[in-house]
Copies of this chain bind each other. A is one copy, B any other.
């Protein structure tokens, strides 16, 4: 499917560098696609922060992510970064955007086709823009996270670099939570499960909702049974996985994809996830973890974790959620777009 004559621009977000050092799911996926395409011989230009790390051509007009450098104004940086890619559109056969709704507003000002991977709908207020540009090319990251009326070409599941998360044959003793500290991610429910199971819970991730952390998480921290570790990088994640019996992901709203579920499974860590949104696409119930509908169900599932084969967790990631599988998915989408464009402009 690879076409070495085609030049692809990957437009990554600039909240963080690509790939991010800690949190930053969209940048992680944009980076994985970029490196995966390069590995398969594509001519790729990555539009990302200047401190990004890539084997592709790097094109940057913003030095550092606006979440990592308080001197950067997010609005100014976004306008500069996105428009820069479109000003160079003629150099590419495809612009593949991972940057939310904003690039769509430039898409009709160029003849270069634009593919948008929708990593999530951040608010109902952004829908008028998707509605206006609904005839564009879209990819969803799960079948569940789709808006009606958009021209979806496919669902392409996010893929990870499995070499970063080696399989651990034996699990640890603790429950772990990994993700943004935000009510959407159900950190408070994970704490309930820990209490009811009488097990230790290790919490890691950036504090996105400060009031939630202060009011619903911090009071439970005791340095013994409920511990907050802070944000973690890949090394920190692996240390966490080494101590994990199971990852708790008791999301309170439909998950869009859930990259952390895949990372845990890759390391052999089973996942207990709320059966909302994409979780049932990512976790195979009873095989790579358990899907539950409430805290009681999660507590029961903790007792069933020994039934899970850790190798089976990793195998499923290898099959469905590797960079290679993802890139093959996108190659099919690119090919569809090139065919459609050739017909449109013979």
- Residues of A at the B interface (CB closer than 8 Å) are 61, 71-73, 75-76, 79-80, 82-83, 86-87, 101-102, 105-106, 108-110, 123, 125-126, 128-129, 132
Contact = CB atoms under 8 A, between A and B. Distances in A.
Contact of A106 (B76, B109, B126): B109
B105 A83 contact: yes
A73 B123 contact: yes
Contact of A110 (B75, B109, B126, B132): B109
A108 to B, nearest CB: 5
Which of A73, A82, A110 is most buried by chain B, counting CB atoms within 10 A of its CB?
A: A73
Given A83-B106, A106-B83, A101 B76 contact: yes
A71 to B, nearest CB: 8
A87 B110 CA distance: 10
A128 B83 contact: no
A67 to B, nearest CB: 15
A76 to B, nearest CB: 5
Contacts of A128: 76, 80
A14 to B, nearest CB: 13
B101 A79 contact: yes
Contacts of A106: 83, 106, 109
B76 A125 contact: yes
A76 B123 CA distance: 10
Contacts of A126: 73, 76
Contact of A105 (B73, B80, B101, B123): B80
A264 to B, nearest CB: 34
Given A73-B123, A76-B126, A82 B109 contact: no
A126 to B, nearest CB: 5
A108 B105 CA distance: 14
Given A72-B125, A87-B108, 16 more contacts: A71-B125, A76-B101, A76-B125, A76-B128, A76-B129, A79-B101, A79-B105, A80-B128, A82-B105, A83-B105, A83-B106, A83-B109, A86-B109, A87-B109, A106-B106, A109-B110
Contacts of A108: 83, 87
Nearest to A109: B109
Contacts of A83: 105-106, 108-109
A86 to B, nearest CB: 6
Contacts of A132: 61, 80
Nearest to A79: B105
Contacts of A109: 83, 86-87, 106, 109-110
A108 B89 CA distance: 11
Complex A-B, nearest 4 residue pairs according to Cβ-Cβ distance, in ascending order: A83-B105, A109-B109, A73-B125, A79-B105
A101 B76 CA distance: 8
Contacts of A129: 76, 79-80
A240 to B, nearest CB: 35
Contacts of A80: 105, 128-129, 132
Contacts of A73: 123, 125-126
A110 B110 CA distance: 9
